[in-house]
Amino acid sequence: MTSDTAANPFLSESTLPYGLPDFASIGDEHFRPAFEAGFAAHLAEIAAIGANFEPATFENTVLALERSGRLLYRVSVVFYNNTSSYATESMQALETEISPKLAAHEDNIHLDAALYERFGQLSTDGLDDESARLVEEYRKAFRRAGAALEASAQLRLREINAELSTLSTRFSQDLLKDTNDSALLVERAEELDGLPADDLAGAAEAAKAAGHEGKYLLTLILPTNQPALKMLTNRSTRQRLFECSIHRGSRGNATDVTATAARMAQLRAERAALLGFETHAAFATDDQTAPSLTAIHDLLARLAPAAVRNARAEATILAETAGHDLEPWAWAFYSEQVRRDKYSVDLAALRPYFELERVLHDGVFHAAKRLYGLDFRERKDLPGYHPEVRVWEVFDANGTGLGLFLGDYYTRDTKNGGAWMNPLVEQSRLLGTSPVVVNNLNISKPPAGEPTLLSYDEVVTCFHEFGHALHGLFSNVNYPRFSGTSVPRDFVEYPSQVNEMWILWPEIVANYARHYQSGEPLAPEQIAKLEAAQLWGEGFATTEYLGATLLDLAWHELAPGTEVSDPLAFEADALAKAGVNMELVPPRYRTGYFKHIFAGGYSAGYYAYIWSETLDADTVEWFKSDGGLTRDNGDRFRSTVLSRGNSRDPLASFRDFRGRDAELEPLLKRRGLE
């Protein structure tokens, strides 16, 4: 063993609290040898299970498989967290190399004939419900991975999976580069009239960091609609920013990802056919909580006409407000004017009341304290993977340690766009592990010494992503396969959406929404106006969301063998056929920057947000009618839903909590679609 290998921090369990990866000791040079050792160790463990001469039992087959691959798990979670959050050039180069190897390794496991045969021999008689579910979930995973296919079909499946892995990495890396390259460089401050002073200072700092001192750089967030569009008074600047946003990834340059996306859709269709499904969408939704692809289309078809109708009505009001024909880059600006004039709500003027530290400690954490009894103590002695990452130890109501929460809040050019939660250590009684989870956001970093003031949308994102964190932190299952957020895609957004309800809850908003200079609380009448104004703009919001959802399904309902030579024409045709082709309301994500579905695991699954929102809206009504923000209510939601992971059918967890299946009416009311 070389000295480098001997010193590799991945080769043994971390000795830090809760198994937090020892980021201070981890260098880029450790990943490749750790992956190589992890692949070899895992394959040896799998071979030993398959070669066992004793009859297959739950202990010598299923539990042995659950315990296997721990080294590979340790290096993988850190590696893919870093390639999303801190993607240096060396890490991106290694990702290009490792991703297809990891895909091939997963095929080696799922297509292992001896292992598959042993699962076929198992009986679930006498097993508890969670253990029996584990057996069935593994069997389903083997079948969906192609274990029952003939050898020639398995060979082609391996080729497809390897190419898809390579293309997904390429999509992600090219999109990150093109998003950075598409940031809008502005020469003069006058062109940014309307931006708050802290945003203007942040744009100056971003330009300086990019080598354009004295100018201003508006970096892009992942969705189509950029926050500055609400505030910029200069019509030309709004147009330029909007066009920078919608043309990302589809500019015909070296980082154009549309051909990559089309090839991925074609390969996914071919793979689905190999596995016995008509389309990739049929395959992807087969193991979700939605009963069928038809049921998903039925829901979307019910929502789309009303959403578009509401969006057109909003457009009429906006054109009257503008006094001229409306353009897509003007929608957000005039929508904010209507919000100010009709509802007396100026979102830009509220930003001084949403300072990041207060939002976190006195809002997000305070709500978790009131509802679940949690305490948060920052651990500055524990290092993150980047200097800006912060670590908190989370304590349960009885004072015992629950896990660790990491927060990575600021944007940087090495971080992917959007916001997300990752587990770094998954809870499992079998393995004796407690949860370690991280939230990533993309908030513009202010100049040194200045406060971080959030938009209202960023406040929503803080609460939303922490809902995912709670789902991970509260996990209380036996098996790592079922831990935390390891649930179907169309259920995973449900707990995070529920957590948004506390943003304007009286005891919570009064605690955190205070002016960062004077400490003055946001006036109750202003909060009431903000609540009243929430329905304004739902036509736009629902239509842009449905545009992305239906575009996702169009890409993934391609018949096998279909080649798309002009991805943007395909996109336009798909939106037209779906009835959501409003020029004034482009999809929330266009093909060129639809990272969710081409590099984020949501292929044919972007519908999950609205499907989960049905459960969320019904749950919010329950909280409101059953006492609201109480420990009893929090403990009920925690014990029936948040702690259960995928250890049972997630809809059974919902029924245990709610006492019945979800009803659609609360969602329709919330979005103004009644």
Q: Tens digit of pLDDT for each residue in 559-584?
A: 999 999 999 999 999 999 999 999 99
Domain of residue 27: give its range: 3-110+112-145
DSSP 82-97: HHHHS--HHHHHHHHH
Do 645 and 483 contact (CB within 8 A), yes or no?
A: yes
**Both 499 and 549 in a single domain?**
no
Active site residue 465: yes
Do 227 and 219 contact (CB within 8 A), yes or no?
A: no
Q: Which two tokens stand for residue 453?
A: 């003031």
- The residue whose two tokens read 């971390």 is 14
The three-class DSSP label of residue 164 is helix
- Output the CA–CA distances (angstroms, integers) from residue 306 to 135, 210, 379, 668, 674, in the order listed: 44, 44, 49, 10, 8
Residue 103 lies in a domain: yes
β-strand 436-443 against 401-410: which pairing, if any?
parallel
The three-class DSSP label of residue 44 is helix
DSSP 554-577: HHHTPPTT---S-HHHHHHHHHHH
Identify the CA nearest to 615 among candidates 640, 575, 572, 651: 651
pLDDT (0 to 100) of residue 674: 82
Over residues 475-521, the pLDDT tens digits come to 999 999 999 999 999 999 999 999 999 999 999 999 999 999 999 99
Identify the CA nearest to 199 among candidates 65, 306, 73, 351: 351
Residue 565 lies in a domain: yes
What's the structural domain count of the chain? 4
How far does the chain reach from its first CA to its final CA, in angstroms?
68
**Both 524 and 588 in a single domain?**
no
Residue 624 lies in a domain: no
Q: How many CB atoms lie within 10 A of CB 37?
A: 17
**Both 405 and 264 in a single domain?**
no
**Both 271 and 311 in a single domain?**
yes
**Both 293 and 369 in a single domain?**
no
**Both 527 and 592 in a single domain?**
no
Q: Which of 95, 393, 465, 544 is catalytic?
A: 465
CA distance 163 to 179: 24
**Both 529 and 581 in a single domain?**
no
Last residue of a domain, one of 479, 511, 536: 536
Residue 452 lies in a domain: yes
Residue 429 lies in a domain: yes
pTM: 0.95
Where does residue 169 rank: exposed (0-12), middle (13-18), buried (19+ CB within 10 A)? buried
**Both 224 and 271 in a single domain?**
no
Q: Tell me the CATH number at 61.
A: 1.20.1050.40
**Both 269 and 395 in a single domain?**
no
pLDDT (0 to 100) of residue 71: 98
Last residue of a domain, one of 586, 609, 632: 609
CA distance 437 to 424: 6
The strand pairing partners of 521, in sequence order, are 514
Last residue of a domain, one of 536, 557, 582: 536
Identify the CA nearest to 35 among candidates 56, 7, 8: 8
**Both 414 and 518 in a single domain?**
yes
Q: Tell me the CATH number at 407.
A: 1.10.1370.40
Backbone angles phi, psi at 414, to 5 degrees: -100, 5
User: Does the CA dihedral 143-149-153-159 come out positive or negative?
Assistant: positive
Q: Tell me the CATH number at 302.
A: 1.10.1370.10
**Both 93 and 121 in a single domain?**
yes
Residue 670 lies in a domain: no
pLDDT (0 to 100) of residue 629: 97
pLDDT (0 to 100) of residue 315: 98
The strand pairing partners of 405, in sequence order, are 392, 437
Residue 668 lies in a domain: no
Residue 601 per-residue DSSP state = S
Instruction: With a cut of 50, list the residues of the chain below it in pLDDT.
Output: 1-3
**Both 22 and 103 in a single domain?**
yes
Strand order in the sheet with 401-410: 375-378, 390-395, 401-410, 436-443, 420-425
Instruction: Tell me the residue type at 575.
Output: L
DSSP 405-461: EEEEEE--TTS-SS-EEEEEE--BTTTTB--EEEEEEEEPPPSTTS--BPPHHHHHH
Instruction: Tell me the residue type at 649.
Output: D
Q: HSE-up of 170 (CA within 13 Å, CB side)?
A: 18
Q: How many CB atoms lie within 10 A of CB 219?
A: 22
CA distance 167 to 101: 13
CA distance 611 to 617: 10
Identify the CA nearest to 82 among candidates 138, 120, 31: 31
Q: How many CB atoms lie within 10 A of CB 413?
A: 14
Phi-psi domain of 218 (left: phi exceeds 0; alpha: psi -120 through 50; beta: other): beta
CA distance 377 to 246: 41
Residue 314 lies in a domain: yes
User: Does the CA dihedral 202-208-213-217 come out positive or negative?
Assistant: negative
